[in-house]
Amino acid sequence: MGFGVKTNTEYGSRTFVYEVKGLCQTEATDKLNNPIRNSGTVYITVPYTSMNQEMRRISRMGGKIISIKTLGEHPEAQAETTNTGEQTKSMTQAKPHIDKKDVPVNTYRPKNPFMGKCLSNEELVREGGDGTVRHLKFDLSGSDLKYLEGQSIGIIPPGTDAKGKPHKLRLYSIASTRHGDDLNDQTVSLCVRRLEYNHPETGERIYGVCSSYLCALEEGADVAITGPVGKEMLLPNDEDATIIMIATGTGIAPFRAFIWRMFKEREQNPDYQFKGLAWLFFGCPYTPNILYYEELEELQRQFPDNFRVTYAISREQKNKDGGKMYIQHRIQEEAEELWKEIQKPSTHTYICGLKGMEGGIDEGMSAVTSQFDVNWDEYRKQLKKEDRWHVETY
């Protein structure tokens, strides 16, 4: 943070003291318990979880932070600390996370799914790309199914498996906001890649049951939907947060929902006007495989100070060693800046995509945090404990 404070895994529950000069005498500063001293200095206690928000508030009030120390390191401040009147609160309260008790879960279960209809089924991979990925929109009219960004729904393909039993549901991350692509709260969208591979023994081409069913679904067709499920990937309510999103392939689905909510639905969300930084890392084999490419590029143009995309295109780009450019190499390239962002108490990091991608991300982050005598594995565990490190891989 630039003030000599080392961040470590113990800080989550600690209190810090900001030594601030230059605060203007305003209605806001008049409410402080202790007056601004003749020297122009005031001390403000700040819990770790509100440090970033407090910095912005101080800046808006014309102040300059001279130092940041732990409460124990600042004996003078212990004697005359300024706060808002309650020991457990700072001048600026961080906006609370979503109360997970209020998150809708399992409105519809496999034994009694909701029968929706396919409204549209569009190809996302452009000419020259690899495979097929479809954006599907389903009608939820007449249902009680409500969901939040970051959740998933289940799809039950018709027919039976090799044993003659009904197919089990498959979970897919939701690619739309709670308002749906039509902004009428009556639809839900998915981003689905058709699974296909060669059988390791016979060489036979194998196609995924549910993904093939969905990718071939015609408009107007019925589809059995369950859910929603999931509380791991929820977007915080903080409008000033930094949101780091790391995705491969269809792992972009929940992040499309995040990005649409942040930047495309301001009229629909008067109580959520995102002003922070959203940074998407996206990995794919070819440029035509960049899903939602036109929309991502347009939003970067519209919100250059708030939205950033970094691509890792493995078959077209080279890493510093001359090999293929995978997402872990982009993370390693940006690790120092990412580390600065991740230390902020209002930063949330999300990872979604193929299982195993976490290893490369950890490798890149560990290389830079070791320069600050910080054990990345321990620090990541602390982020997870603070509900600021979110992983959903498959």
C-alpha span between 256 and 262 (Å, rounded): 10
C-alpha span between 125 and 193 (Å, rounded): 10
User: The sheet that has 187-193: what strands, in order across it?
Assistant: 170-173, 152-156, 222-229, 114-123, 133-139, 187-193
Q: Of 287, 208, 231, which is closest to residue 103 (Cα–Cα)?
A: 231
Q: Hey, which residues are catalytic here?
A: 172-173, 352, 392, 394
Three-class SS state of 85: coil
231 CB-near residues (< 8 Å, 6+ apart): 100, 103, 105, 151
Query: CA-CA distances (angstroms) from residue 223 to 116, 119, 142, 188?
Result: 5, 11, 14, 12
Cis-peptide, bond into residue 228, ω within 30° of zero: yes
Q: Of 231, 238, 199, 193, which is closest to residue 212 (Cα–Cα)?
A: 193
Q: Which amino acid is at 350?
A: Y
Torsion of CA 391, 272, 187, 214, to 10 degrees: -20
User: 82 exposed, middle or buried (CB, 10 Å; 0-12, 13-18, 19+)?
Assistant: buried
Q: Of 125, 200, 213, 205, which is closest to residue 172 (Cα–Cα)?
A: 213
Q: Of 112, 210, 111, which is closest to residue 159 (Cα–Cα)?
A: 210
CB-CB contact of 131 with 249 (8 Å): no
Rg of the Cα atoms in the chain: 24
Query: CA-CA distances (angstroms) from residue 47 to 44, 68, 155, 381?
Result: 10, 12, 44, 19
β-bridge partners, 389: 349
Angle between helices 253-263 and 293-302 (to 10 degrees): 30
